[in-house]
């Protein structure tokens, strides 16, 4: 601060991550945005939370402390899907674990308040964003309050918050008190029960809203054109039909929606009633389109201490020039120099990758990206992206010419959007691609193809690979895109996420059927052969997703065996805060449909034993899983799949070396043969199920 000639900071940002000045790290992005608006920004990275003293390191901020857990929810960061503590932290120098507290937003907010009582506290990031209403918390296995009452923050900014943050900071700098700033989109705060911004506002009970047969009445953007003049009443007093111009009806409806707040069941109600929890989750997700979302309110507490959590509608997506402004800031593109030569895995992973867009309209129920970034795609311009490639080339000392990603939440949604702004603003669907690709969705890949070609032509760039996941159901709409991708941007393996093969599960995930995967696979193999390349798809699957039965997992395992997939990396469903699949996990109800006590139930693997069995099906080839699978198959009445015949999933006998794995001296050696090092998707060394997989060459099919 002394070097900068500052006597104080306007804003002090606190983060649970190491500080890396790169637009993939939220704190850097927010700091650079505020700096561009003339504010003096200090950053406290991974402060020791055991006392308030480290929170005084930069003094008291003139305007506020801005607090985040970092790029991830602190509990997702620290614990596995089996609730075990991870041994490392990718966002910390040398991957050292334990550098941030659990529920970091709450802990940091309390310490900052303790350091400087009365200071304004603003919270944000994915942890605050996805815990803004009462939510099921997998790690404590209970419904928790909104993070607002726990942190006692003055305001919460959710989603990508640049717009709200800049406006908030200017207004605070202009002398407006924090509790007078109640009109910013993308913000949430605590108010007294019954508070309204003005008399104009009406409250709607969510239970009245989510009634059978329909969710709500929406404006019809295709309504017929109106006559220019309003008709006069007939002489006999009869009233003629009056056609209201569509624009006027839309404006009236918008005005209504702009002054409506939906009251969700209270924290106390959803905590004790799984059906009400599922109902609240459903209503919450239906109010996610910035074009028509209404404010929501949820009471926390009872009696005189009760308070409402008020949630304004989500932020308006950034335009392309605004996205460019955010990404074109003068980032150092490096970790803070105080880390010296320490390795930060998250930085190693993204330092040569480029984020070309935000948002996702897929709506996969196990993922919270849509809840955080929204489903309207926000894309950067070609010029801004090419400029970043040149920056990496010119300023990164260890860059060797390989750009490791041109992506985002979904690599091939770049520039995709609804064909009509009016339709988009009135749309209430949770996904543009489920149950099928919406006829209003523009799936044109030409701008992305053009971007790839421009990027390859940048002098000094030797290779560009696409590391982000793809929507293959969209990709097959453009064989030219698949050809471009396969010919130039795959380095042997391409990650792809069917997530499951069974309709029962896919319908709960809101994912396309496995037929779309097959269509993509055929295109992938055809264009790989044309390019003279031996390349493989790496499919990802989720075990124990809500809606998945033991039979579904068995069918998936048989599909994997049929296509000779021996997966190294598999994942078990992790119920993250606010995801729709988490609602299924907790409530055993399907919030994709109207929820009632009698509505569709969702079978969910919750016990460790069943989750372990489901995971074992994904690694059916691993001898260490065979005892679990044998037990499971017998329990399912499918003992016919145990044995040495070609139709069997697991052999009857355990390999000798795995049997000996319990002996300490031989444990490591015993495990070795069970690990298949070949590329995923490559054929097994030996077909059939009468022996353990053999170590094989890397020769693919």
CB of 480 to ligand SF4, least distance (A): 22
In sequence order, what are the beta bridge partners of 157?
Answer: 187
Token match 């105080």: residue?
Answer: 338
CB of 477 to ligand SF4, least distance (A): 13
Burial 81-94 (b: 16+ CB within 10 A, else e): beeeeeeebbbbbe
Which C-beta is closer to ligand SF4: that of 284 or that of 361?
A: 361
CB of 359 to ligand SF4, least distance (A): 12
Token match 């145990």: residue?
Answer: 642
Which C-beta is closer to ligand SF4: that of 275 or that of 423?
A: 423
Q: By the 8 A CB rule, do 202 and 209 touch?
A: no
Which C-beta is closer to ligand SF4: that of 442 or that of 644?
A: 442
Please calculate the CA angle 421-482-353 and round it to the nearest 5 degrees.
80
Does 418 show up as a binding residue in the annotation? Answer: no
Q: Round to the nearest angstrom and report the end-to-end CA distance of the chain.
A: 60
Greatest Cα-to-Cα distance within the chain, rounded to the nearest angstrom: 103
Q: By the 8 A CB rule, do 2 and 310 touch?
A: no
CB of 253 to ligand SF4, least distance (A): 17
Which C-beta is closer to ligand SF4: that of 411 or that of 418?
A: 418
CB of 290 to ligand SF4, least distance (A): 11
CB of 657 to ligand SF4, least distance (A): 53
Which C-beta is closer to ligand SF4: that of 387 or that of 420?
A: 420
Spatial separation of the C-alpha atoms in residues 457 and 449, rounded to whole Å? 13
Q: Is 401 left (phi over 0), alpha (psi -120 to 50) or beta?
A: left
Strands (E) in 68-149, as ranges, are 121-123, 135-137, 142-144
CB of 510 to ligand SF4, least distance (A): 12
Does 364 show up as a binding residue in the annotation? Answer: yes
In Å, how far are 186, 512, 632, 633, 634 from 637, measured between CA atoms? 52, 30, 9, 6, 5
CB of 420 to ligand SF4, least distance (A): 7
CB of 80 to ligand SF4, least distance (A): 35
Q: By the 8 A CB rule, do 567 and 620 touch?
A: no
According to DSSP, the β-strands at 417-418 and 441-442 are: antiparallel
Which C-beta is closer to ligand SF4: that of 298 or that of 426?
A: 426
Which C-beta is closer to ligand SF4: that of 433 or that of 455?
A: 433
On the 0-12 / 13-18 / 19+ scale of CB atoms within 10 A, 506 is buried
Please calculate the CA angle 47-50-56 and round it to the nearest 5 degrees.
50
User: Which ranges in 136-245 belong to alpha helices (H)?
Assistant: 147-151, 162-173, 206-209
- CA neighbours closer than 13 Å in the CB half-sphere of residue 171: 15
Picking from 598, 586, 127, the residue whose alpha carbon sits closest to that of residue 371 is 127
In sequence order, what are the beta bridge partners of 60?
Answer: none
Which C-beta is closer to ligand SF4: that of 389 or that of 441?
A: 441
Spatial separation of the C-alpha atoms in residues 205 and 263, rounded to whole Å? 5
Which C-beta is closer to ligand SF4: that of 166 or that of 437?
A: 437
CB of 652 to ligand SF4, least distance (A): 51
CB of 431 to ligand SF4, least distance (A): 7
Spatial separation of the C-alpha atoms in residues 87 and 604, rounded to whole Å? 28
CB of 408 to ligand SF4, least distance (A): 17
Which C-beta is closer to ligand SF4: that of 447 or that of 666?
A: 447
Which C-beta is closer to ligand SF4: that of 290 or that of 546?
A: 290
Query: In 10 A of CB 144, how many CB atoms?
Result: 17
Binding footprint of ligand SF4 on the chain (CB under 6 A):
361, 418, 423-424, 427, 429, 432, 438, 440-441
Spatial separation of the C-alpha atoms in residues 375 and 288, rounded to whole Å? 8
Query: How big is the chain, counted in residues?
Result: 701
Angle between helices 320-327 and 382-395 (to 10 degrees): 10
Does 438 show up as a binding residue in the annotation? Answer: no
Which C-beta is closer to ligand SF4: that of 441 or that of 554?
A: 441
Which C-beta is closer to ligand SF4: that of 374 or that of 693?
A: 374
Instruction: Output the six-digit token pair for 84.
Output: 């075990």
CB of 218 to ligand SF4, least distance (A): 11
In Å, how far are 76, 132, 579, 591 from 365, measured between CA atoms? 17, 18, 6, 10
Query: In 10 A of CB 127, how many CB atoms?
Result: 26
User: Which ranges in 382-475 belong to alpha helices (H)?
Assistant: 382-395, 421-426, 446-456, 472-475
Instruction: Output the six-digit token pair for 122.
Output: 């603003």
Q: By the 8 A CB rule, do 151 and 105 touch?
A: yes
Point out the annotated binding site for [4Fe-4S] cluster: 360, 364, 367
Point out the annotated binding site: 360, 364, 367
């Amino acid at each position: 601060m002394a070097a900068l000639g500052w006597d104080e900071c306007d804003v002090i940002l606190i983060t649970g991550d190491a500080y890396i000045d790169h637009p993939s790290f939220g704190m850097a992005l927010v700091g650079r945005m505020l700096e561009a608006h003339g504010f003096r920004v200090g950053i406290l990275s991974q402060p020791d939370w055991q006392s308030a003293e480290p929170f005084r390191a930069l003094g008291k901020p003139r305007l506020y402390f801005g607090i985040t857990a970092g790029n991830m929810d602190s509990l997702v960061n620290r614990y596995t899907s089996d609730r075990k503590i991870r041994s490392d932290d990718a966002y910390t120098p040398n991957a050292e674990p334990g550098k941030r507290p659990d529920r970091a937003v709450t802990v940091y907010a309390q310490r900052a308040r303790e350091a400087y009582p009365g200071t304004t506290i603003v919270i944000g990031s994915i942890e605050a964003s996805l815990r803004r209403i009462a939510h099921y918390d997998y790690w404590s296995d209970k419904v928790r309050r909104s993070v607002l009452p726990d942190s006692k923050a003055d305001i919460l900014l959710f989603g990508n918050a640049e717009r709200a943050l800049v406006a908030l900071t200017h207004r605070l700098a202009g002398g407006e008190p924090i509790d007078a700033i109640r009109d910013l989109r993308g913000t949430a705060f605590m108010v007294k029960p019954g508070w309204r911004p003005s008399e104009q506002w009406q409250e709607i009970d969510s239970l009245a809203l989510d009634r059978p047969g329909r969710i709500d009445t929406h404006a019809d953007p295709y309504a017929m054109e109106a006559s220019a003049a309003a008709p006069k009443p007939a002489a006999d007093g009869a009233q003629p039909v009056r056609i209201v111009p569509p624009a006027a009806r839309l404006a009236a409806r918008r005005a209504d929606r702009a002054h409506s707040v939906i009251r969700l069941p209270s924290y106390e109600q959803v905590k004790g009633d799984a059906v009400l929890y599922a109902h609240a989750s459903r209503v919450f997700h239906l109010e996610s389109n910035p074009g028509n979302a209404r404010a929501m309110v949820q009471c926390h507490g009872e009696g005189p201490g009760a308070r409402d959590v008020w949630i304004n509608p989500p932020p308006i997506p950034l335009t392309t020039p605004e996205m460019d402004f955010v990404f074109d800031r003068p980032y150092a593109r490096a970790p803070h120099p105080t880390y010296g030569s320490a390795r930060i895995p998250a930085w190693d992973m993204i330092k040569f990758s480029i984020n070309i867009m935000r948002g996702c309209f897929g709506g996969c129920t196990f993922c919270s990206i849509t809840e955080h970034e929204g489903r309207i795609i926000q894309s950067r311009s070609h010029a801004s992206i090419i400029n970043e490639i040149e920056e990496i080339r010119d300023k990164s000392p260890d860059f060797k010419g390989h750009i490791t990603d041109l992506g985002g939440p979904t690599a091939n949604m770049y520039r995709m959007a609804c064909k009509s702004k009016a339709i988009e603003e009135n749309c209430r669907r949770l996904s543009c691609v489920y149950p099928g690709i919406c006829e209003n969705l523009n799936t044109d890949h030409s701008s992305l193809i053009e971007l790839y070609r421009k990027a390859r032509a940048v002098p000094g760039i030797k290779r560009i690979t696409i590391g982000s996941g793809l929507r293959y159901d969209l990709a097959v709409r453009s064989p030219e895109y698949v050809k471009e991708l396969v010919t130039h941007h795959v380095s042997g393996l391409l990650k792809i996420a069917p997530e499951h093969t069974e309709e029962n599960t896919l319908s709960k995930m809101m994912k396309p059927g496995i037929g779309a995967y097959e269509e993509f696979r055929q295109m992938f193999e055809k264009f790989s052969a044309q390019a003279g390349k031996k390349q493989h798809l790496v499919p990802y699957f989720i075990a124990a997703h809500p809606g998945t039965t033991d039979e579904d997992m068995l069918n998936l395992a048989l599909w994997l065996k049929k296509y000779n997939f021996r997966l190294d990396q598999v994942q078990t469903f992790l119920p993250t805060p606010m995801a729709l699949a988490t609602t299924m996990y907790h409530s055993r109800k399907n919030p994709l449909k109207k929820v009632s006590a009698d509505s569709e139930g969702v079978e969910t693997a919750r016990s460790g034993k069943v989750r372990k069995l489901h995971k074992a099906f994904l690694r059916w080839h691993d001898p260490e899983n065979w005892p679990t699978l044998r037990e499971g198959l017998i329990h399912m009445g499918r003992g016919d799949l145990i044995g040495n015949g070609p139709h069997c999933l697991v052999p009857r006998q355990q390999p000798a070396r795995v049997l000996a794995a319990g002996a300490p001296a031989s444990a490591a050696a015993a495990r070795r043969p069970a690990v298949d090092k070949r590329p995923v998707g490559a054929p097994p060394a030996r077909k059939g199920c009468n022996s353990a997989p053999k170590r094989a060459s890397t020769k693919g099919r």
